[in-house]
Amino acid sequence: MFSLGGGCSGWKSGALCYRCEVGRVARRWWLGGRHGVDRRGASMGDPSDNGTASSGDDWSGKKVFTTGEAARVCKVSQQTIIRCFDSGRLNGFRVPGSKFRRIPREELIRFMIANEIPTDVLGTGRKRVLIVDDDREIGSLVSDLLEDDGRFEVRVVETGYDAGLETERFKPELIVLDYMLPDLNGDLVCERIRASADHSSTKILFVSGVIEQGEVDKLMGKGADGFVRKPFDVRELVSRVAGLLEMEAGA
């Protein structure tokens, strides 16, 4: 159900690999379990903090986080956050006169984006967009333009299989979906997404340069929300994305 898109990153502090820890906890999270936070954080200066971020948590106005709070937001153990802090991968400061670690909001967001952890729980206001296209040049170009806009959080994958995994993990609000993919066609990806109640509100914008109007009509009948023919003007594509998400055309 869950993938971080590749093997171990090699980011290790002692015996702990950050990505492996995220994946381990996240898999349990998506399966509906709750994970206990590693209590060893208390012995390293910070008080232990149980639980995970829930729908009742409101982080939108919080400016500084404890390691326990950061762990709940990222859905990893407190020990993972402490190790990343102490190794310099997650920046912050210590409370004067104590060993307690504190993490500024901007730094936590930077850390989450760098490690592909969804930031919507923090109330950043950015729309999540998943690009599915095996043409790396197109994927990179569209991703860069959306990111530069400042209103979007973007992920890019190249296969239908990875599209399914990333949809479960990232929970995009809109998917830019190429029709012709190396493993399966986009219409099958669309059908599987629409079959999930969890993604009933996800917008799907198809892009292709090889299908006829009749096939486009079939895609719309299968749940697509729009279609853009390749080659396209990338700024026009961004405008379509904004329109489907009911946003203003420009930043």
Which residue do the tokens 């853009």 mark? Answer: 228
**pLDDT tens by residue, 135-163:** 999 999 999 999 888 889 899 999 999 99
Quick: pLDDT tens for 179-233: 999 998 899 999 999 999 989 899 999 999 888 899 999 999 989 999 999 888 8
Distances (CA, A) of 57 to 103, 109, 119: 18, 17, 14
Element (H, E) at 207: strand 203-208
CA distance 181 to 18: 31
Tell me how far apart the 2 most distant CA atoms of the chain are, in Å: 70
223 φ/ψ sector (left φ>0, alpha ψ -120 to 50, else beta) = left
Q: Is the pLDDT of residue 77 over 80?
A: yes
Confidence of residue 247 (pLDDT cuts 50, 70, 90): confident
The pairing of strands 203-208 and 16-17 is: unpaired
Structure tokens at 29: 């999270």
Q: What does residue 116 show for φ and ψ, rounded to 5 degrees?
A: 60, 40
How far is residue 165's CA from residue 178's CA, in Å, rounded to a whole number?
A: 16
Q: What is the three-class DSSP state of 198?
A: helix
Domains of the chain, with CATH numbers? 12-122 (no CATH), 127-244 (3.40.50.2300)
**pLDDT at residue 58, as a whole number:** 73
For residue 149, the model assigns a pLDDT of 86
